[in-house]
Each structure stands twice: as structure tokens, then as C-alpha cells.
Amino acid sequence: VDATVDLLTDVGYHRLTIESIAARAGVGKATVYRWWPTKARLVIESLSHRIEVTPVKTTGELRADVRALVDAAIELFTESPLGAAMPEMASDLDADPEAREQLLSFLGPARAGNLSLLYRAAGRTDLPHDVDADLLLDLICGTVLYRRLLGRRSSSAIADQLTEMIVGRHLPRTSEGVGPTA
Amino acid sequence: VDATVDLLTDVGYHRLTIESIAARAGVGKATVYRWWPTKARLVIESLSHRIEVTPVKTTGELRADVRALVDAAIELFTESPLGAAMPEMASDLDADPEAREQLLSFLGPARAGNLSLLYRAAGRTDLPHDVDADLLLDLICGTVLYRRLLGRRSSSAIADQLTEMIVGRHLPRTSEGVGPTA
Amino acid sequence: VDATVDLLTDVGYHRLTIESIAARAGVGKATVYRWWPTKARLVIESLSHRIEVTPVKTTGELRADVRALVDAAIELFTESPLGAAMPEMASDLDADPEAREQLLSFLGPARAGNLSLLYRAAGRTDLPHDVDADLLLDLICGTVLYRRLLGRRSSSAIADQLTEMIVGRHLPRTSEGVGPTA
Amino acid sequence: VDATVDLLTDVGYHRLTIESIAARAGVGKATVYRWWPTKARLVIESLSHRIEVTPVKTTGELRADVRALVDAAIELFTESPLGAAMPEMASDLDADPEAREQLLSFLGPARAGNLSLLYRAAGRTDLPHDVDADLLLDLICGTVLYRRLLGRRSSSAIADQLTEMIVGRHLPRTSEGVGPTA
DNA sequence: CACTAAACGAGACGGTACGTCGCGTCTTTCT
DNA sequence: AGAAAGACGCGACGTACCGTCTCGTTTAGTG
């Protein structure tokens, strides 16, 4: 069932009809409804079977780790269908809090991993507080997704700049070489 | 015509039907189609008549200006219908580049104003290059919109933190007091 | 099982769903299908447990007997659910000859009794032939059922008239008093 | 539209789906619903465009006229789809009085013609009262339809017998030749 | 008396049709 | 000529039942 679902995700979330999902899966419409009350839930669950959202592996160096996070976000939101589907689900998520929860618990593990990565970085250098890391992840994802929304591609040059913006502040004071980039 | 349209925007973008718009406006459906080929275009134009997206007024001090930008983004994306409608339009914008252009040209003036604001700040202190400011605005808007998408409210505490994140790096070296915030 | 079935017959034959029968009987759907291949069969058998279709008791006088037959037909087709269900089964009976047979064998005994009643009358007075009595019974039932089909109630005045129509011809020649009624 | 409808009537009333009607007619389902709230209404109207229910032409002789009525009833209820469809509509007619009215007004003119035919016969010979003729027509139609319902064909021999049953009583006293037939 | 096998309740399954809604096009009617 | 009104072909919606099909679980019958 889920296999076919993702294939259908390729036509976009709005264009995706439950009828066509059922047809493609060789399944009665009622069966789909039996298990997923909502298109949003079905899509989220299907994506969570298809896409691995894994935390980035730490290198021990902050700049490299942040760059990895940025790259992962770009990958996730511009290469996978998730980037296209997530914004379109907006209103469905507003209307159906359980669906939102499901989405969050799908993204959760990777986020937790990345959070702890940042916390460890904080221990080493100077990333201090709780909300900080949370917000920082939102910032990375948000920036990438927003650009996608407006049709702006996030090239690797953009990734460089974004990384520097984030990391610049926290680098050892000495090398002011960050300047030209940020 | 447009007056009634925005009232209907209150039910959300997806639920908004051209049929109901026409009914509410006391107008034939065909008349609507005559002027706007697409729901996205109609909505964007209507919003642009309703919402003022104005550049922030500079205070001459970077931190205060950035904070003003952040607050403006929060206002725009969480209080106005634009925050709800924009993500939902994602696929329509992908399919209809002219609509995207229209949206950009609606947001354009304010963005240009804010850009030059940042450039002037760059002149005064140390915000250097072109893409930088562009990306910075995306970063602010993206972060706020992303949080909204996941149901996370952006409180003024969040605004504080986001401001510090951005401004921290570029502040005069002396006051290291930024530390505790960033 | 049958008990609940007839209760459901009250909602009409078309509206009667095997699913609801099974539910009402506290029984699996498959169990129903195991015993009755068809809704028609189930309904007929249920009705045959519920309704007594008994031959009329003869009085020895033709007019009274015919009147009793008419009254019995009215009772059967306007008071019992059979009157409502039988026409609705028409197509099912066409499609499933065994069901028709089952219905006939349910109605059979009473019909046989009434037939012999008419034959005995024929012996006494002047009702002669075989098909005659058969057709006569069809005539009585058909007239009543047809009127029901068109929403025409068969009052006792109608019963009087119908009785006279039938019996008039066969009365002793002398009393021409039948005239005004027939 | 109606042309295709009747063709579909050939599969029977129950099996007849509005969806297939619409498909066959090359028409949207909604269009069908726009004009006919109910399958019964649609079918009745379609039949009334297809079938001519005309009063029998009088010959001036009662027996011949009655026989013509009987033959017309047999034709109508065993050759045309009306005979199959009418009983199946029973419950729909019960639920939707307007549909019944529509059916009656479709059958009405022919019935009126036949009624006046009987009344004229009454003037000539001895068919007296109001309800009489009405009931007599119900009797003819009902008998034929009832036999069809039970799968009994109404051959011309049956038609003979039925005619004699009806006409016998009212024939001039002299010819007692009715005997062998009735 | 235990064990097996049939019949059972429950209900999921692949389907078909329901009646509704909104689409974007098209025609008609009245300014 | 242009706009309101709204009918049209279309197709997806979510629901209700269809008749078939597993599933355990009773419930007898038999060894």
C-alpha cells in the first residue's frame, strides 16, 4: 500500500487523490479510509516509511557539523517530496493536531540527535542554552524551506553563507577571516 | 469584488472556492475567471490590496533594526492570513511561475527597503555583501514561517533570541555581553 | 434469527440490508449467507414463519365465501408486510426461479384450500371449470394488490363491489337484485 | 437523454443505476440529479415518452371492448418494460407521493378513455355506477399484473376466460352460452 | 474425557454505486 | 457588448453495502 502511495506523492499533495491511491494500490477506497482518517496522516506515514531522516554525524568540529546540518536540510527539503508536501499540508495540520503530532514524531528522532550534537558542540566551545539549539534547527530548516517556497534554489554557495552566518559568531575570536563570507 | 474575497480568505486557502467568491461578490463565476486565470493569482492580488508590506523604519542601530525586522516577520506570518495562505500556495506557485512572480513583486518593495536598510547598516558596521542581506531576510522570514508550519508560536522571547543570533556576530567586538543570549 | 428479520422487514424490502439483519440478529454476515443464498429467499422464509396464510372457512354460501376471500386478500396485502414486499421482489423472483417456487409453495396450501372451496361451490351451484377458479383467485388478489400499488385503499365498500362483480354472474337467475350493486 | 434511459430500463429497475444512465447518455451525474430528484421519477417520465398508453377503440359491443381492454392490459404489462418496472417501484412510490401522482397522470388519459368507454357501454346495456368502472379497470390490470408477478403468463385463453368472467353477468339473459367459458 | 472439526461472531477486504460538491467551460438572458 | 446567472461534462469526495474471505472462539460429536 505504502509503496504505491509514495509514487503518487510525486504528482504533488494537492493533486493526490485518495481514489487514485486506492486504485494504484489495487485496494478498495474504504480500506484506505479504514486505516487513515485523513490524507495528511496517510501521506506522513507513507513518507516516514520512505524517507530516512537521520541525524547528522558529528565530526567534532562545529563548522563542519553545521554545514552538514545545512546540507541535510537542503537535501531533505529540495530533493525529497517532503519539501514539496510539507507546506501544502499546512492547513490540514492546522485542522488536525494529531496529524501534526505524527509529523513531529516522525521528524523527532533526527531532530533530537541534531540537538544533542549542538549541545555537545556547546560543551566544547560556546553554544550555551536550551532553546537556542531548537531555534537554530528551525532556522536552518526554515531558511531552506522558505527559499524553496519562493522558488529560490539553495546552492552550495548559499549553504556556505548560511553556515558562516550561524557559525561565525561562535568561532574563536582570532581568525577574523569569516568577515568576507558572512 | 476584492473586498469580499479577503473575507473568504478567512476560511483558508484550500477551502476557498471560486464559486463561493463569486457568490459572495454577487458576480458571475465567469467574470472572476475573466480577470484572474487562477485562484493563486486572485488571492495574491487580493492580499496585496489588503495587506501593507512595508519596509521597517530604520533607527540607525543594527540590533534594533533587526529586531524590528523579526517582529515584522512574525506579524506578517502569524497574524495576517498571508502566513496561512503562503505555504498552501506552494504547489500552485510551482505550477504557475507568473503567480510566483506576482507574489514576489508584491513582497518586493518591502524587501528592497529592508535590503537597503541592511546595506546601510553594512556600510556603518560590518555587513558586507549582496547575497548576504538577501539570505538574511530569507532566514528571518523562513524561521518564523517554519515555526508556524509546525505549530510553534514565535513569542517575543523567541524574537529576542533570533535577533541576538543574527546580530551577535556582527556587533562590535567589545561588548561580549551577547554571549549569554546567542 | 427470523424474529429479527421480520422486524427489519418493517423498513421495507429495498432498504433491508443483509448487513443490518446480521447485526440485529447478533450474527455474522457469513452465517446468513450460509443458509440463504439470497435476500429474497430469506425474506420469503421469514414471512412464512410469521404469517399464516390459511384458506378461508366455507360457510356453504357462495357470496359469503367470496366475500371472505376478498377480505382475506385485503388483509394479507394491505395489513401484512407481504403486500409491501411482494411487488418489490418482482425482479428478484424473475432472476431466481427457486425463490419464486419457494414463494408459491408458501402461498400454495391456502390457495389449494380456497380452490377446493370454489370447486365445492361449483358443485353446488354453477362454477364449472378448472382454470376458472385459479384465475378467479388471481383476480381477487391481483385487484387488491394492484390498488395497493397505486395507493388506492380497498375499503369494505370496495370489497362489497368486488364480491358482487364476481358472484353476480353465478347467482340463481331469479333474484335480479344484484343489478344495482355490480 | 431519455432515449438512452429506456434502453437502460431493459436491465431492470433495480439494476438500473443513475451512474450508468449518465454514462450512457454522455452526461454528468449531477445533470441527471438536477432534473429528476429520484430514480422513480426519471423512469416514469422516460417511460411516458416511450410508451403510448392509449384508450382502446370502442366497437360498440361490450364483449369485444372488454376483450380489447384485457388484451391491452396484457400487452402493457407483459410486453413493455412497464410491467417489470411498476412493481419494483412500489416502495419508491410509497415514499414519494409525487412520483405516484406522476405515474397516475401518465396512466390517466388512457384510463379516462377506457372509463368513458365503459360508461357508454353502461348506457347501452347494464353497466351502472361510478366506482364500478374504476374498479373494473383495476381488476383487469391487477389480474394481469399479479399473474406476471408470480410468473404466470397470460395467454389468449386466459384473456378469453377473464373477458367472459367480466362480461358474463351483464350479457343479455338469453344466450346462456357463457357457461362453457366462465 | 479429551480432541478435533464444524459452525460461529466478528469484521477486513476489493468493489460498485450512492448523492454532493466544486471545477472550468459554455450558453442564455438581460441590461 | 458585457455581465449575472447558472447549466453542463467531469471527476473526486466520503459513505453504505455488496458478497467473499480470513480469523480466533465456542460447541458439539466422536474416538
Closest Cα to residue C58, out of C109, C106, C113, C108?
A: C113
Residues 27-66 of A with CB under 7 A from strand E: 27-31, 34-35
Smallest CA–CA separation between A98 and chain B, in Å? 12
Q: State residue D26 phi and psi, 5-degree precision.
A: 65, 50
Task: Give dist(CA D89, CA D7) in Å, integer.
Answer: 18
For residue D99, which residues of chain C lie inside 8 Å, CB to CB? none
D14 C-beta less than 7 Å away from strand F: no
Please name the amino acid found at residue C166. Answer: I
> How many alpha carbons lie under 13 Å from residue D159 in its C-beta half-sphere?
18
CB pair distance less than 8 Å for A138 and B151: no
Task: Give dist(CA C67, CA C70) in Å, integer.
Answer: 5
pLDDT for position B123 = 66
B25 C-beta less than 7 Å away from strand E: no
A23 CA to E10 C1' distance (Å): 27
Query: Burial code of D49-67, b = ≥16 C-beta within 10 A, e = fewer?
Result: ebeebebbebeeebbebbb
Q: What is the pLDDT along chain C (182 residues), one digit of tens a residue?
A: 677 777 777 788 988 999 999 988 889 899 999 999 999 999 998 888 888 888 777 777 777 888 888 999 999 999 888 999 999 999 999 989 999 999 999 989 888 888 888 777 766 655 555 457 788 899 999 999 999 999 998 888 888 888 878 776 544 333 333 333 33
Assess contact for C122 and C133: CB atoms under 8 A: yes
Assess contact for B144 and B78: CB atoms under 8 A: yes
C38 CA to F27 C1' distance (Å): 27
Q: State residue B49 phi and psi, 5-degree precision.
A: -85, -20
Please name the amino acid found at residue D64. Answer: A
Q: Which residue is nearest to nucleotide F21 (CA to C1')?
A: C30
For residue C143, which residues of chain D lie inside 8 Å, CB to CB? 135, 138-139, 142-143
For residue A86, which residues of chain B lie inside 8 Å, CB to CB? 87, 149
Please name the amino acid found at residue A82. Answer: L
pLDDT for position A148 = 93
Q: Which of C92, C131, C135 has the most D C-beta neighbours within 10 Å, making it the best mutation to test the interface with D? A: C135
Task: Give dist(CA C36, CA C5) in Å, integer.
Answer: 12
CB atoms closer than 10 angstroms to residue D91:
18
Closest Cα to residue D84, out of A62, C89, C107?
A: C89
Smallest CA–CA separation between B89 and chain A, in Å? 7
Angle between helices D62-74 and D97-124 (to 10 degrees): 160
- Dump the DSSP string for chain A: -HHHHHHHHTT-TTT--HHHHHHHHT--HHHHHHH-SSHHHHHHHHHHHH----PPPP-S-HHHHHHHHHHHHHIIIIISHHHHHHHHTHHHHHH-HHHHHHHHHHHHHHHHHHHHHHHHHHHHSS---HHHHHHHHHHHHHHHHHHHHTT----HHHHHHHHHHHHHTTS-SS-GGGTTT-
pLDDT for position B169 = 54
Residues 60-119 of C with CB under 7 A from strand E: none
Q: Which of B11, B74, B88 has the most A C-beta neighbours within 10 Å, making it the best mutation to test the interface with A? A: B88
Chains A and C touch (3+ CB pairs under 8 A): no
pLDDT for position A122 = 65
Q: Which residue is nearest to nucleotide E10 (CA to C1')?
A: C28
For residue D92, which residues of chain C lie inside 8 Å, CB to CB? 14
Grid cell digits, residue B103: 507574489
Please tell me which of the candidates B90, B146, B158 has its beta carbon nearest to residue A141: B146
Grid cell digits, residue B50: 489588503
Low-confidence ranges of chain A (pLDDT < 50): 130, 170-182
D54 C-beta less than 7 Å away from strand E: no
- For residue B119, count CB atoms less than 10 angstroms from its CB and return exposed for 0-12, middle for 13-18, buried for 19 or more: middle
pLDDT digits (tens, 9 = 90+) for A36-49: 999 999 999 998 88
The sign of the dihedral angle between the CA atoms of D82, D86, D87, D92 is: positive
pLDDT digits (tens, 9 = 90+) for B100-157: 988 988 888 888 888 777 777 666 655 554 457 788 889 999 999 999 999 888 888 8
pLDDT for position A1 = 66
Distance, CA of C81 to chain centre: 11
CB pair distance less than 8 Å for C147 and D138: yes
Task: Give dist(CA A66, CA A159) in Å, integer.
Answer: 10
**In this model, does residue B171 exceed pLDDT 50?**
no
Query: Burial code of C71-110, b = ≥16 C-beta within 10 A, e = fewer?
Result: bbbbebbbebbbbbbbbbbbbbbbebeebbebbeebbeeb
Low-confidence ranges of chain D (pLDDT < 70): 1, 122-131, 168-182
Task: Give dist(CA C43, CA A75) in Å, integer.
Answer: 64
pLDDT for position A154 = 85
Chain E bases closer than 7 A to any CB of the protein: 7-27
Assess contact for B7 and B24: CB atoms under 8 A: yes
CB pair distance less than 8 Å for A145 and B142: yes
Using CA coordinates, name the residue in chain D closest to C178.
Answer: D169
Please tell me which of the candidates B91, B129, B143 has its beta carbon nearest to residue A14: B91
Q: Which residue is nearest to nucleotide E11 (CA to C1')?
A: C28
Assess contact for D120 and D58: CB atoms under 8 A: yes
Tell me C55's DSSP state: P
pLDDT digits (tens, 9 = 90+) for D41-63: 999 998 888 888 887 777 777 77
C36 C-beta less than 7 Å away from strand F: no
pLDDT digits (tens, 9 = 90+) for A85-124: 999 999 899 889 999 999 999 988 888 888 888 777 766 6
Smallest CA–CA separation between A137 and chain B, in Å? 9
Closest nucleotide (C1' vs CA) to B17 is E22
Grid cell digits, residue D151: 410468473
Smallest CA–CA separation between A146 and chain B, in Å? 5
Per the listing, cell 373494473 goes with D136
Q: Which of B7-11, B79-83, D31-35, D61-65 has the lowest mean pLDDT?
A: B7-11
Secondary structure of chain D as H, E, C letters: CHHHHHHHHCCCCCCCCHHHHHHHHCCCHHHHHHHCCCHHHHHHHHHHHHCCCCCCCCCCCHHHHHHHHHHHHHHHHHHCHHHHHHHHCHHHHHHCHHHHHHHHHHHHHHHHHHHHHHHHHHHHCCCCCHHHHHHHHHHHHHHHHHHHHCCCCCCHHHHHHHHHHHHHCCCCCCCCCCCCCC
